Amino acid sequence: MAFLFRLLSRLPLSLLHLLGTLLGWLVYGLSPTYRRHLRENITLAGCSDALGTAVAEAGKTVLELPKLWLRPQAEVIARVIRVSGWELVEQAWRAGRGILFLTPHLGCFEITAQYYARFAPITVLYRPPKQPWLAPLIEQGRGASLKLAPADVSGVRKLIKALKAGEAVGMLPDQAPGVGEGEWAPFFGRPAWTMTLAPRLARSGATVILAWAERLPHGAGYHLHLSKPATDVTTPADVNREIERLVRLCPGQYLWGYNRYKVPRGVPAP
């Protein structure tokens, strides 16, 4: 599998996205569980018109990873051909404040931290993959400025230390946390087990920036969008509302197949 990943990393992004579209529809057709989750989640959010696009974009999310992980950092960063809202980063730098990047599973969420790491250090909350062979591939192309913090107590300490030093941290706020790490909060009108870490870090005084990278047509690259939250993100419900707002901007590129409403083992049902 590692050899296949290295081979895919050498293909043009446009071809990877084409193959990803085929993969997305193949998985959608062959996996009843995945198909059910995707249809239920996108319908609940009132975005069912984007179902076909979402199927294709989910496949692109998978097949673009080899290029993002294994190609030289300069080549990967060059794929970001447009950035909106960078002035928010510069304002935080001038103020000497740490930055908390909240990046949901929207568009190419893998490239956002890599782009920032080109300019300054960033520490990213990280869950090791279930397949051990993937770990060295993920870590290979990230460079010294992109640090990984495990999703445990030691990782939380690294995030807090980075913010206190005026550095940036990043996380996927719509990832279901473990027992004792979340609470139930509405997400598109239905209770979802939501991490409490993001609002805790937001209350530390860090500058909160929402970040997502729009996948452009025909493998043209990515448009990095940075914006302020519309409200203070001091509770899990606040965080979910901000994610909803971003998702509605581009529902076809959200990862609807993720089982966002699962009840983790040991967590009481809502």
d(CA 151, CA 207): 21
Residue 45 has pLDDT above 90, yes or no: yes
Query: Which DSSP string do the residues of 9-54 spell out, in sequence order?
Result: HTS-HHHHHHHHHHHHHHHHHH-HHHHHHHHHHHHHTT-GGGHHHH
Give the tens place of pLDDT for each residue, 227-265.
999 988 999 999 999 999 999 999 999 999 998 999 988
In this prediction, residues 176-201 reach a mean pLDDT of 93
Give the per-residue pLDDT at 139: 67
Q: List 223's β-bridge partners, or say none.
A: 82, 214
197 pLDDT above the threshold of 70: yes
pLDDT at 39: 97
Residue 125 has pLDDT above 80, yes or no: yes
Q: How confident is the model at residue 89 (pLDDT cuts 50, 70, 90)?
A: very high
Express each pLDDT in 9-25 by its tens digit. Answer: 999 999 999 999 999 99
Express each pLDDT in 138-147 by its tens digit: 666 565 578 8
CA 57, 62, 63, 69 torsion-angle sign: positive
